[in-house]
Amino acid sequence: MKNQKIIIIGGGVIGLGIGWQLAKAGADVTIHERAEVGRGASWAAGGMLGPIAEAHIDELDLLKLSNQSLDRYPEWVDELEAETDMRIGYRAEGTLIIGIQPDDKYQLEHAYNLYNDLGLNVEWLSGDEARKIEGALSPYVTAAIRCETDHQVDNRLMTQALKRAYEARGGEMHHNSPVKKIVIENGNVRGVQTLEGFQSADVCILAAGCWSGQIDGLPETIIPPVRPVKGQMLALQMRKDMMISNVIRTVKARYPMPVYLVPRRDGRLVVGATTEEMGFDTDLNVGGIYELLHGAFEAVPGIYELPLIETWSGLRPGSSDNAPILGKTPVENLIYATGHYRNGILLTPITAYEVSKLILTGETPDTIAPFHIDRFSKE
């Protein structure tokens, strides 16, 4: 595929990651980004690399893929940092899932048993043991699960680094260049229609996040079932006497809303996130921000004094089974890399390595085979 013209639709971590790997292999790649590169979900995310904390009993293929991607993170970070001379804020301190109210302990035990059944690397801690690790935790924390291998990365830095690495390898970038239509003839992709007119391509990769189902030209049967799932977020500025270093998450299915706190190396403390089915609406509201602050305050009361430095929201590309849609489609040379929902930052390395391998060799790697679009037509 080396001399073929490849077009990628979408300049988030997924499009950039695949583009970088392809450009590195000497391919002729162009990314068309509707607006500004890296300002979609990839910018809004928390950056948690949390296969365990996000594990679900009904999503075992996704858990396997997530673990495979996490395993490749150190190599990914080394490669990206070496090529760009940037640091992307990878932190390996781990994650504490905490219980606060008596009911949370029951939820935690349930999660702990599930993780053990799945063979995941977790440790049960009492409240005091958890506070020995993170002194700022509330005195009301009754127990915790330590997930030492659930790490984090600064997704905004990673996105900037990917753009730099992609361009340094000769990848072409078109900002403010929405793809209006994917042009298909006789079952083959021919290129895309942009504001500048028709751009021919031998291979097209659809990596347009939650907008992936909105581009004209796709046969009805293969429109990716991807929808926007809004998440409101905020950031606080930690102080020397109020620093945390692990990712802290409250248990799922709790009231008030479960939250996560993600401490960055520069002292920012990212708090997220709501999960809202609101279409393409990205407005922030008092309820969302209140719930986040309430949940974060219950977990770490010391945040009360910290400056609130940013609020934002983003749209997760949610697929109908929460797993990404990867690989070949019934249209020759049209490749999907979308629908990464809550785990797109975690899944970037495996997506980039394996989708670029597919394009360069023509063979679908076993890793991504369960994630074809055809799984939806089989249902």
Chain residues 87-146 in contact with ligand FAD, contact rule CB under 6 A: none
For residue 339, state whether it binds ligand GLY (rule: CB under 6 A).
no
What lies within 8 Å, CB to CB, of 80 at 6+ separation is 20, 86, 88, 158, 161, 162, 165
Rounded-to-integer distance, Cα 302 and Cα 297, Å: 7
For residue 94, state whether it binds ligand GLY (rule: CB under 6 A).
no
Closer to ligand FAD by Cβ: residue 35 or 253? 35
Q: Report DSSP state, residue 251.
A: P
For residue 169, state whether it binds ligand GLY (rule: CB under 6 A).
no
Number of residues that bind ligand FAD (CB under 6 A): 43
For residue 271, state whether it binds ligand FAD (rule: CB under 6 A).
no
Min separation Cβ 15 and ligand FAD, Å: 6
For residue 157, state whether it binds ligand FAD (rule: CB under 6 A).
no
Both structure tokens of 174:
């078109």
Min separation Cβ 156 and ligand GLY, Å: 15
* Single-letter amino acid code for the residue at 220: E
CA 18-230-99 angle, to 5 degrees, is 100
For residue 230, state whether it binds ligand GLY (rule: CB under 6 A).
no
Residue span binding ligand FAD (CB under 6 A) among the ranges 55-63, 83-91, 131-139, 336-344: 336-344
Min separation Cβ 38 and ligand FAD, Å: 7
Pair 113, 276: CB distance under 8 Å: no
Work out whether the CA dihedral 247, 248, 253, 258 comes out positive or negative. negative
Rounded-to-integer distance, Cα 363 and Cα 68, Å: 19
With CB under 5 to 8 Å by kind, the binding choice for 120 among ligand GLY, ligand FAD, none is none
For residue 249, state whether it binds ligand FAD (rule: CB under 6 A).
no
Which position has the token pair 């988030």?
12
For residue 273, state whether it binds ligand GLY (rule: CB under 6 A).
yes
DSSP 218-232: S-GGGS--EEEEEEE
Provide the total of helices (H) and of strands (E) in the chain, helices listed first.
9, 19
Min separation Cβ 127 and ligand FAD, Å: 25
For residue 147, state whether it binds ligand FAD (rule: CB under 6 A).
no
What residue spans of the chain are helical by DSSP H? 13-24, 41-44, 60-84, 102-117, 127-133, 155-168, 286-299, 348-361, 374-377
Closer to ligand GLY by Cβ: residue 171 or 349? 349
With CB under 5 to 8 Å by kind, the binding choice for 353 among ligand FAD, ligand GLY, none is none
For residue 191, state whether it binds ligand FAD (rule: CB under 6 A).
no
Q: Which residues sit at the interface with ligand FAD, rule CB under 6 A?
A: 9-15, 32-35, 39-42, 44-48, 178-179, 207-209, 211, 215, 231, 233, 272-273, 314-317, 338, 340-346
Q: Which residues sit at the interface with ligand GLY, rule CB under 6 A?
A: 46, 48, 54, 231, 272-273, 316, 342
